[in-house]
Amino acid sequence: MTKGQMPKTIDFAGIKVDNVTLKEAVEQVEVFIAAGGPRLVVTPNPEIIVTAQKDTELREILNNADLRVPDGISMVVVSRILGRPLQERVSGIDLMVELIKKGRRIFLLGGAPGVAEEAADKLINNITGVCVAGTHDGYFSDDSKVIKQIKEDKPDILFVGLGAGRQERWLNRHLKELNVPVSMVIGGSLDVISERKKRAPKWVRALYIEWLYRLLTEPQRWKRQLALPKFLWLMFRPGR
């Protein structure tokens, strides 16, 4: 299939995903920043797609987002089998890091107290030209205080890691008021960037067995891994 014939969006059990490469996603976000915003970037993966089957609000938010990158290798495999191939997996953390490399003003929101600051330090030490406008932890009760701080810090990109579901709802509720050009959900990426949590080694990622690594290093999350068979069932069940 030539690039011209590539479907622009692909439907995964009612959740629309944009068929972009990492490079195209970065370019798209740059266009959003230039245009002003506010825009929402989400990162659907099998787990979120399964959750969104019963959660209509989450489904609406995902489908109405401005950019929806496919954050799961199983989505790529499934899309190929079904004959509407995704170009590649675009992992949320990879997109986040590529955007940060562009030197835009960023705000990091989420994680336990201290995590966002530690992540900011790691970014500043490891990437030249990083511009951190502000940080805040993800365990707050007063939305208006956090919103005020973000507005004062005037970031180009707001990264929000409050856990799947909560982060999408929080941003959807406050997007207009925040009026940041681009806001993106990032799940637990701040834990990884701050190095409080280890990302799977490169060879594990290359073999596409990150899920197995997670299962072994965080066995308490085994229930969440059931999302994958549920996702496969949704995509291949008879009469879908």
**Encoded tokens for 76:** 């790529």
Query: What angle, 0 to 180 degrees and rounded to 10, lies between the N-to-C axes of helices 56-64 and 166-178?
Result: 50
Span interacting with ligand UDP, options 15-23, 54-62, 117-125, 158-166, rule CB under 6 A: 158-166
Q: Give residue number: closest CB to ligand UDP.
A: 138
Q: Which of 37, 38, 70, 110 binds ligand UDP (CB under 6 A)?
A: 110
Span interacting with ligand UDP, options 13-21, 65-73, 79-87, 184-192, rule CB under 6 A: 184-192
**Encoded tokens for 171:** 């941003």
Cα separation, 209 vs 148, whole angstroms: 41
Decide: is 138 part of the binding site for ligand UDP (CB under 6 A): yes
Cα distances from 106 to residues 29, 74, 93, 132, 231, in angstroms, run: 13, 30, 14, 5, 33
Cα separation, 209 vs 201, whole angstroms: 10
Decide: is 190 part of the binding site for ligand UDP (CB under 6 A): yes
CB of 130 to ligand UDP, least distance (A): 20
Cα distances from 61 to residues 171, 196, 230, in angstroms, run: 9, 30, 21
- Whichever of 19 and 211 has its CB closer to ligand UDP, that residue is 211
Cα separation, 110 vs 219, whole angstroms: 23
Q: Which of 37, 70, 155, 188 binds ligand UDP (CB under 6 A)?
A: 188
Decide: is 119 part of the binding site for ligand UDP (CB under 6 A): no
Decide: is 164 part of the binding site for ligand UDP (CB under 6 A): yes
- Whichever of 164 and 200 has its CB closer to ligand UDP, that residue is 164
Residues in binding contact with ligand UDP, number by CB under 6 A: 13
Cα separation, 39 vs 94, whole angstroms: 19
Residue 130 has a CB neighbour count (10 Å cut-off) of 18
**First and final C-alpha spacing in the chain:** 25
CB of 164 to ligand UDP, least distance (A): 3
Span interacting with ligand UDP, options 61-69, 81-89, 104-112, 168-176, rule CB under 6 A: 104-112
Decide: is 111 part of the binding site for ligand UDP (CB under 6 A): yes
List interacting residues with ligand UDP (CB under 6 A). 110-112, 138-139, 161-164, 187-188, 190-191
